[in-house]
Amino acid sequence: MLALSCLPLLFAVTATSGAAPALRPSAPPAAACSAVTRTDVQQALGRPVATGRQSADGPQSTCDYAAGAGQVSVTVQRLTAKLNVAAEIESLKASIPEASVREAPDVDALAFFLDIPGAGTQLYVIRDDRDFVLISVLGFGDAAQVSGAAEAMARKALGRL
């Protein structure tokens, strides 16, 4: 079982493993805390979370919401090159061998989950080969418990990009 103290490191590893070289910005993304607000997160999870902490690294924007040992991270970025999704999935699987990948058919975009046993899930969304959204829900339950919340947050983000 994955220790919850490893969650921020786990997010950092999976958010950057393989994905960074293919993500080339064309314009600044929407601020992540505006793409998915605290209210959105609370409604999706059904519990209160702290005010989001926004950070930006060039064209990428991330917002972190915490509650207890759990964290929701929302990352948005604009792409200029088509992402090789198969290669990105293989890279994610290699970085977290115990994780499993599954499609997210209820999101109106190319989307897949990276389910991490004992931690939660990460939802990767690419719309029109341009908008990239990553919703990471870790420490609030297993993937089956938090996938619906991740999808709801992704739909909010896509509606605001």
Predicted confidence at residue 58, as pLDDT, reads: 77
Convert the pLDDT of each residue in 82-130 to its tens digit. 889 999 999 999 999 999 999 998 898 999 999 999 999 999 999 998 8
Which structural domains are found in the chain, ordered by start? 4-160 (3.40.1000)
Predicted confidence at residue 41, as pLDDT, reads: 98
pTM confidence score: 0.82
Instruction: For the chain, give the DSSP string.
Output: ---GGGHHHHHHHHHHTTHHHH---SSPPPPHHHHS-HHHHHHHHTS--PPPEEEEETTEEEEEEEETTEEEEEEEEE-SS---HHHHHHHHHHHSTT-EEEE-TTSSSEEEEEEETTTEEEEEEEETTTEEEEEEEESSS-HHHHHHHHHHHHHHHHHH-
